[in-house]
Structure 1
C-alpha cells in the first residue's frame, strides 16, 4: 500500500469541470485528480503566492521587535533587582519584612528618582524623573498589598494558649477586606479589583487578585520617603500580609519603548519572603519613523492576504463540506486565519487604548500610570504572533510535501502513529510512576522535585543528561541512587530506544516503498522544463537526441532502465520524460532494452535527426518521442 500523501484532500469527481479557477483556483477547487501536471502547476502557483504572504508576515512580526528590548530589560533588572543597599540587601535577596523596608527605602527610591546629573547639577526637568537620564518615569509608582483574615485557619487545641491568631495561606475567599491601622487613606482601606482597575497576577506561590490596600508614592524622592516611613512605623505589613506589589512604568523616547515593571514579594504562611519580578518591555506607540510607515503598508497587504485566504477557504468549504477538515493542513489554514483576525482586531484596540491612556496621563501627571493591562495584552499579542508565524512556516510543507523526498517524514510519522500511541501508554505509566516516587522521596529537600509538575520536567531533563545527582543522593542516601539508576536504565536505555526503533523501522519501510513507486511529475520537473525551454531558445542546451544516442552507444547488449535513467538524469532530463522515452521501445515491459530494441531506437532517432526535427524546440521533439503510444501497451508497462 502506497504511503498516504499530505495532499490527499477530497477531489471533485473525475470529469466535472473546475468550479473555481484563476485567482481563486487551488488544488481543492480545481479538478486535478486526473491531471498531474495541472496539480503540480496549481500547487506551484499557490506556493509562490504563499511565499509572498510569508515574507509580509515576517516583516510585520520582526518590525514590531527590536534588539533594544533585551538591553532595556537588562538595564532595569540590574537597577531595581540586583542593586544592593548600603547594608547589602538587594531585591533578589529579600528574605523578611525588615529586608523589604530596607530595600524600599533604599535601592527602590534611589532607582526611581533621577533629577540630577552625576555631578549634582539639575537635569532641568523640574520634578520629572528620568531614570539613567533617558527613561521618563510615567506618573507615580504604586505599592499594593494583599492580606488574609485572622482565624482563617484553626490552631490545634494544645497550642491555643500560646498562639492567639492563625493566618492561612492565601485564598481569594479568605482575603481580608477590613480597614486597619490608621484607617484613613487608601493604604489602610480595602479596594476591590474593579475600583482600582487591577488585574490578577500569577505569582510563584499562587494567583493573587487585583484588589487590596494600595498607596501611590509622590513625584519627589523626599515626599515618597516620608510616605514609606509612615507606613513602616504604623506596621503596614503584618501577620496577614501575603503579597506586596510595586508597580511603575517608564518610557524611552530614543527607542520608542515602554518598560512596565512589577516587583512582587510574597510572604508565605511559613514566614520569610519570596521575591520575584516581571519586566515587560513593549512597543505601544507604533507609527513614528519611516520604517513604521513601511510597516503600515505591510499591514495593509497583510489584511488583503487574509481577506483573500478567507474567500479561498470559504470556497473550499463550500465544495467539500466537513470533509475539508479531514486534512490537517486545511485545519492549519483555518488556525492561521483566525489568529490573524484576532491580531488585526487587537492591533486596532491597542492603538485606541494607548492614545486614550496617554492623553489622560498627560492631563494628570501625578496619578499612577497603569500600563500593566496594556503591557499584558501586548505581550500576549506578541506571543500570538510568534505562534502564528511558526504555523505559517510549518504550512510551507503543505506545498512541498508531495515531493517523494519530502513525503518520507510525514508518511513515516503517519504510519507509525498507532505504534507510537501504544508505546506512549506504556512509557507514561512508567514515567509518571517514577515522577510520583521522586516527588515523595525528594520533594521536601530538592527544589527540582518540590512539586509534581517540577518532577515531570526534571525527569525529561534527566533523559537529556541535565541532572543534579548529588542533591538526590543527599535527600535519600539509599533510595536516591536506586531511583536514579533504575530510572536511567528503564526509561533511557530501554523505552527511549524502543521509541527510536519504531520510527527507524517504519522509515525504512516507507523509503523502500517510495523508491519502488512510479516516478510522477514533480515541481522540480516543471522548473526544469521552464529553464530548459529558455536554454533552447538561447541555444545553450545540447540536443536531446544526442544525449539519448550517447547513452545507447555506451550501453551493452542489454540496457537496464535504471542505467538509462541515471545517465540521462545527470544530463539534466526529468524522470517522467525518461520513463516515457524508455517505455516507447521497451515492448515486453521488462524494463530492459535488448539488442533489437536498442537498434530500433537508434534507427528512429537517426531518421528524425536526418529529417531535421532535431533543430526544432525540445517540446516538439519530445512530443514525437513520447508519441501516441498504444493505450493498452502503456497501461501494461506501467502495471509491470
Structure 2
C-alpha cells in the first residue's frame, strides 16, 4: 500500500527466579535487611519533620525530593515482596504438556528494577543537599540555582524551536524516512542529532531539495546558537557564584573571634530561628520573635537568587548566616 508502513517489534525480558541462592546472594540479603532498617529510620525522621513543620514542610524543594525518594523506596519494597511471594519455582520445571506463563513474575521483576533505577538517580541527586554545608562543595548546585532564572526561558525557547522542526521534518520526510514516521520519532531523532547521530543521506534520498535547507536551519539555529547560548548562561552563573563564594570566604577570614559565623544553606530563616531558640530556651513562636522574623525574611529573600550575608535579629545577634 502506498504510504503505508508496518512496525514490528520483539520484547525480551528475563529475571532471576532464585535471587537468593549463592553466598554472595545471602550477603546481599544481609545488606538489604540493614538497608530496610535504615529506611525505617529515614521514614520516621521525615514523619517527625512533617509533624513539626506541618504545611511549611512542603515548601522546601529538598523535602519534596526526599518524599519522592521515600515513596519510590516503599514502592520497590512492596513490589519486591510480591515478587518473592509468587510461586516462582513452578517455572523451573519443564512440562511437555502444560505451558506456564511467567509474564506476571517477569513484570513484577522488571517494574521493580525500573523503579529502582530511577530512584538511584534521585538518591544521588539528594547528595547535593548535604554538599551545601560546605560552600566550595555546593558551588555546582548554587551555580545551577542562580542560572535557573535564565535557563527556564531558554528551555521554553529550545522546545518551541524543536517542536517546529519536528512538525516540519514529519511533513517533509515522514512517509519515506523511518526516523520521521511519527511526531514522537521526529522529536527523538532531532534530540539524538545533538549527540552527532544524524542520518543526512536518508533525508537527501527522500527529498534532495528540502534536505539541505532543513539540515542547515536545524544545525545553525540549535547547535550554533541555542546550545552555545546555554553554555554561556551556565558559564556566567558559575563565575558569578564562584566570585561570591570567594568573597564570603574572605569575609570569614576577616571576621576574627568577635562573633560566630555559621555558614549554612537552610530552607528558611524560621529554621535558623528555631535552632537558636531551642539552644537559648526561647519560645520561637512568640509574637515579637515572629515580627522580627518576617522583617528579616522580607529583607533576605527580596532577591533570592543572590548569595550574600545577613545578620539576624537581636535574639540571634551571635549567629550570622550565609545564604
Q: Distance in 2 between matches of 1:400 and 1:493?
A: 34
Q: Deviations over 1:234-273 (max 9, x none)?
A: xxxxxxxxxxxxxxxxxxxxxxxxxxxxxxxxxx999997
Q: Distance in 1 between matches of 2:145 and 2:5?
A: 53
1:532 alignment partner in structure 2: none
2:51 alignment partner in structure 1: 318
Q: How does 1:400-549 map to 2 (within 5 A)?
A: 400-518=131-249
Per-residue deviation, 1:303 = 1.6
Which protein shows a greater Rg? 1
CA RMSD of aligned residues (A): 3.0
Q: How does 1:175-574 map to 2 (within 5 A)?
A: 275-355=8-88, 358-359=89-90, 366-518=97-249
Matched-pair contact (CA < 8 Å) for 1:439–1:449: yes
Q: Deviations over 1:16-40 (max 9, x none)?
A: xxxxxxxxxxxxxxxxxxxxxxxxx
Per-residue deviation, 1:370 = 0.5
Q: Distance in 1 between matches of 2:98 and 2:172?
A: 51
Q: Distance in 2 between matches of 1:273 and 1:516?
A: 63
Per-residue deviation, 1:434 = 1.1
Q: Which has the higher strand share?
A: 1
User: Gapped runs of 5+ residues in structure 2?
Assistant: 260-316, 319-323
Per-residue deviation, 1:460 = 1.6
Q: Distance in 2 between matches of 1:406 and 1:426?
A: 31
Distance 1:305 1:272, change over 3 A: same
Q: Deviations over 1:365-404 (max 9, x none)?
A: 6211100121122111111112222222222222122311
Q: Which has the higher helix share?
A: 2
2:311 alignment partner in structure 1: none
Q: Distance in 1 between matches of 2:2 and 2:197?
A: 33
Q: Distance in 2 between matches of 1:433 and 1:281?
A: 40
Which deviates more, 503-512 or 474-483? 503-512
Matched-pair contact (CA < 8 Å) for 1:361–1:369: no
User: Gapped runs of 5+ residues in structure 1?
Assistant: 1-267, 521-574, 585-633, 636-640
Q: Deviations over 1:198-244 (max 9, x none)?
A: xxxxxxxxxxxxxxxxxxxxxxxxxxxxxxxxxxxxxxxxxxxxxxx
Q: Distance in 2 between matches of 1:430 and 1:271?
A: 29
Q: Deviations over 1:426-475 (max 9, x none)?
A: 22222211111111001111111111111112112222222111111121
Per-residue deviation, 1:494 = 1.4
Matched-pair contact (CA < 8 Å) for 1:416–1:502: yes
Q: Distance in 1 between matches of 2:45 and 2:188?
A: 42
Q: Distance in 1 between matches of 2:221 and 2:5?
A: 41
Matched-pair contact (CA < 8 Å) for 1:449–1:458: yes
SS across alignment from 1:282: coil
Q: Distance in 2 between matches of 1:370 and 1:269?
A: 39
Matched-pair contact (CA < 8 Å) for 1:280–1:375: yes
Distance 1:519 1:282, change over 3 A: farther
Distance 1:513 1:374, change over 3 A: same
Q: Deviations over 1:318-369 (max 9, x none)?
A: 11112212222222222222222222222221122134xx348859662111
- Taking structure 1 as the reference length, the TM-score comes to 0.38
Q: Deviations over 1:577-596 (max 9, x none)?
A: x8527x79xxxxxxxxxxxx
Q: Distance in 2 between matches of 1:448 and 1:432?
A: 15
Matched, 1:580 2:256: yes
SS across alignment from 1:277: coil
Q: How many residues align?
A: 262
SS across alignment from 1:405: coil
Matched-pair contact (CA < 8 Å) for 1:284–1:350: no
- Taking structure 2 as the reference length, the TM-score comes to 0.72
Q: Distance in 2 between matches of 1:351 and 1:428?
A: 43
